[in-house]
Amino acid sequence: MPHQTDIQEETGLTSAILDHLALHGATPGPGETDLRPQPQPDEVDLAMATLFDTTTGLLTGSQLEDNLEEMLWSLTSIFHRRLIHVQKLLDDNEFEVRESLAIQDGSEVASVELERLQMIGLKLRDHRDAFEQMRDLAVYHFAAATGSPWLPRTGSKVSHRGLTSAVVDRQPDLSLGQAPQRDRGALH
């Protein structure tokens, strides 16, 4: 028969786990599908405005005001660096998908692996788009607060919003050094 202290310890542990779940929600483990929603665009817009307004309000009029532009630049850079990281993961995933397509042998195992890689790619695209929206909003708020444009210290600031499937389809040809064919009827 269990002792009263054993029951109290188990109840305390279960209670702590349930409190944690109620406070933070359930998060999937490694390799599990994450069914939580992406942040909504209007929520992201409000959060970014609040982040920049709070930082500006905190430092303006204080001895730390000289650090304001650098602080706002760093806030923007956080989202830019995260975007670069997710884009690298997406590039790696696209390479893995191409490899998986090349070795498809009709087996269920290979097919399931390809589907898994494609699902990861879709998730990474969603993450990239979310971080890109956050970075672009941060760039806007940086410019509004400082009066100067935000630029990364290294690399470039690419936005995938304007990319169409025609541009994406044409990129492999361009990377191989093939110039786009001009329309013969176009004026030069």
Does residue 75 fall inside a structural domain? yes
Q: Is the pTM of this model over 0.85?
A: no
| Residues 108 and 16 sit within 8 Å (Cβ to Cβ) | no
Contacts 24+ apart (CB under 8 A), 37-45: 38/126, 38/127, 38/130, 39/130, 41/133, 44/130, 44/133, 44/134, 44/137, 45/137
**Which residue range(s) make up the domain with 132?**
39-59+67-145
> For position 28, what pLDDT does the model report?
78
Tally Cβ neighbours within 10 Å of residue 48: 22
Q: Could you tell me if residue 131 is inside a domain?
A: yes
pLDDT in tens, the chain (188 residues): 555 555 556 667 888 888 877 787 778 777 777 888 999 999 999 999 999 999 999 999 999 999 999 999 999 999 999 999 999 999 999 999 999 999 988 889 989 999 999 999 999 999 999 999 999 999 999 999 999 999 998 766 666 665 554 555 555 454 444 444 444 444 44
CB 132 within 8 A of CB 159: yes
Please indicate, yes or no, if residue 174 is contained in any of the structural domains: no
Tokens of 121: 């790619």
Residue 152 falls inside a structural domain: no
Evaluate whether residue 25 is within a structural domain. no
Q: Is residue 155 part of a domain?
A: no
- pLDDT reported for residue 120: 94
Number of domains within the chain: 1
Residue at 184 is within a domain: no
In a domain, 130, yes or no: yes
183 DSSP 8-state letter: P
Paired tokens of 78 = 């956080």
